[in-house]
C-alpha cells in the first residue's frame, strides 16, 4: 500500500506541476508574440525548473510502479495502472496524462512561433545583406540559405 500512496502523492504533485507548466507555456506564447525578451528569459528559467521536477518525479513514479509489481518489459504503465483496479489512481494517472498532452500542444504552438520568428529574422538578414532576391539553396538540415549569405554584415 505504501507504493500506491506514494504514486498517488507523486501524481498529485505532477498535476500541480503540469498545470504550472501549462500556465508558463501560455505566458511564454504571449511573451513571444510581444517579443518581450526579458519575460521570455524568466519564463524559460521557470519552464526548465518545472521540467526538471517533472523528470525527477517520473523516475520516482517508475520506482513506485516497480514496487507495486509493474515490469517495464510488459509495456505501457497505463495498462498496468488500469488493470490494478484502483479508481483514484486511474483517474489521477488519466488527469496527469491529459495535462501532459495539453503542455505538449502548448509547447508545439510556441515552437511554431519561434520557427516563424526565425524565418522572419532570416528574411531580414537577407535584406540587410542584399541577398533578398537571390536564389536559395537547402542545407543539410533542411534550412534555406541564400547564395549571397557569404557576405559579412560587419567585422571586428
> pLDDT tens digits for the chain (156 residues)?
688 899 999 999 999 999 999 999 999 999 999 989 999 999 999 999 999 999 999 999 999 999 988 888 878 888 888 888 889 999 999 999 999 999 999 999 999 999 988 888 888 887 877 766 666 666 777 766 665 555 555 555
Alpha-carbon distance of 30 to 28, in angstroms, equals: 5
> Please, is 11 exposed, middle or buried when counting C-beta atoms within 10 Å of its C-beta (0-12, 13-18, 19+)?
buried
Beta strand 136-138 with 144-146: parallel, antiparallel or unpaired?
A: antiparallel
- Confidence (pTM): 0.78
Alpha-carbon distance of 14 to 21, in angstroms, equals: 10
Amino acid at each position: 500500500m505504501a507504493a500506491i500512496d506514494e504514486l498517488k502523492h507523486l501524481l498529485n504533485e505532477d498535476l500541480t506541476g503540469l498545470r504550472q507548466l501549462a500556465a508558463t507555456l501560455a505566458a511564454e506564447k504571449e511573451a513571444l508574440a510581444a517579443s518581450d525578451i526579458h519575460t521570455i528569459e524568466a519564463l524559460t528559467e521557470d519552464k526548465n525548473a518545472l521540467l526538471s521536477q517533472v523528470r525527477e518525479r517520473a523516475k520516482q513514479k517508475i520506482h513506485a510502479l516497480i514496487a507495486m509489481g509493474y515490469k517495464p518489459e510488459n509495456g505501457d504503465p497505463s495498462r498496468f495502472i488500469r488493470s490494478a483496479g484502483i479508481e483514484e489512481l486511474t483517474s489521477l494517472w488519466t488527469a496527469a496524462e491529459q495535462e501532459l498532452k495539453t503542455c505538449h500542444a502548448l509547447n508545439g504552438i510556441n515552437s511554431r512561433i519561434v520557427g516563424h520568428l526565425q524565418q522572419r529574422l532570416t528574411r531580414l538578414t537577407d535584406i540587410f545583406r542584399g541577398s533578398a532576391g537571390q536564389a536559395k539553396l537547402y542545407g543539410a538540415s533542411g534550412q534555406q540559405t541564400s547564395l549571397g549569405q557569404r557576405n559579412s554584415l560587419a567585422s571586428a
